[in-house]
Amino acid sequence: MTDERKQPLISVLMPVYNADQFLEHCLSCLMAQTLTDFEVIAVDDGSTDNSGRILDEWAAKDERIRVYHQTNSGSASCRNETLRYPEGNYIAWVDADDYVHPHYLAYLYEMILRNNTAIAMCRGEVVEVSEFSLIERDEVEPECVMDFKEYIAALYSPREVEMIVLWNKLYERSLWDNHRFEPGWNIDDAHVVWKLVFDAGKIAVSTKPLYYYRLSEQSVTRGSGSLVRHLDVLACLLERLEFLDRQTGYEYEAYRTHYAYILSILDFIRRFGYSRQERQIKRELRARYNAQVPGFLARKQLTWKTRLKVIAFRFCKALFFLTDRNEQLF
């Protein structure tokens, strides 16, 4: 940091790969923030379109934008590269094919101050590829603060996606000191965010939608294949389960995670088709399910109804296929 440059309050980290169709709009929304004390750190992950040129042009116009270019290395590597440069006290993530409300940074920062937390989150609004407008909605629920147990419970609710993603949150920068993304994961944020909430101890939660998540194929956070993504979901659940089992006082949260894990195995078995690759994965998933059942049945939190259901599924998988996929897990 030179004497000429003032330390920003917030560093907005933006991994970029082939997003020129949306990048101008994303940057214009960021530069229109009502909170102006921020920097944008954009890492161009070897884009083959005009993304790199667009970034350089914006950086030449606004000193708050810093751009770095690298050869294509994938989502995790690109995110880790952005984490080398932030100078702000807080970190926000924005994907280059998404966009944000003008009050996005100000609202999240005010939430952190109001609630004395190290993380704050808003709701993300899913929009179509062609959408560029702001969608205003009132909060469905009042703003609240969740401790880690309440946050874990929310991961097994309809709010799972917005609770686990990177991009609708503001974090104290120090939370990232001991966390990075592992190359090879297809949903790398799901392996990191819950650990940050554990370290923070609590998270301020708002249902006000200030982040607009575009359903686009260009985003660096989208995976390359549904089979791989399903397996990554299971890997994330297993990692969380093993972590919770090592902690003291999280027995019920470990139970819920274990149940979600084995039901996810069965759900993915049902979703997969009959190609040679999918049949092999199904065999591996059935073996994984059978290996998990004894340990799950030994958990003291298990109800008799759930115990019977899991035993029945173990010996007659067809029963699972007759159940409602939207059935509550707990």
For residues 91 and 128, give the distance between their C-alpha atoms in angstroms, rounded to a whole number: 26
Q: Which residues contact 179 (CB under 8 A, 6 or more apart)?
A: 192, 195, 196, 199
Domain ranges of the chain: 10-214, 226-321
DSSP state of 99: E
224 vs 267, residue with greater confidence:
267
Mean pLDDT, rounded, for 195-211: 96
The answer to whether domain 10-214 has CATH 3.30.70.1150 is no
Q: In which residue are the tokens 């929304």 written?
A: 29
Predicted model pTM: 0.88
157 vs 132, residue with greater confidence:
157
Q: Residue 106 pLDDT > 70, yes or no?
A: yes
How many Cβ atoms from other residues are within 10 Å of residue 315's Cβ? 9
Buried b (16+ CB within 10 A) or exposed e, 101-136: bebbbbbbbebbeebebbbbbbbbbebeeeeeebee
DSSP string, 158-209: TTHHHHH-STTEEEEGGGGGG--PPTT-SSGGGGTHHHHHHHHSEEEEEEEE
Cβ atoms of 16 and 65 closer than 8 Å:
no
Q: Residue 72 pLDDT > 50, yes or no?
A: yes
Range in 120-124, 205-209, 284-288, 319-323 the model is least confident about: 319-323
For residues 18 and 78, give the distance between their C-alpha atoms in angstroms, rounded to a whole number: 13
Radius of gyration of the chain (CA): 21
Give strand pairing partners of 214: 127
Range in 61-70, 78-87, 160-169, 228-237 the model is least confident about: 228-237
Q: Residue 223 pLDDT > 90, yes or no?
A: no
Torsion of CA 161, 164, 165, 170, to 10 degrees: 130
Q: Residue 217 pLDDT > 70, yes or no?
A: no
**pLDDT recorded at residue 214:** 86
How many Cβ atoms from other residues are within 10 Å of residue 67's Cβ? 19
**pLDDT recorded at residue 216:** 59
For residues 241 and 52, give the distance between their C-alpha atoms in angstroms, rounded to a whole number: 40
**pLDDT recorded at residue 319:** 56
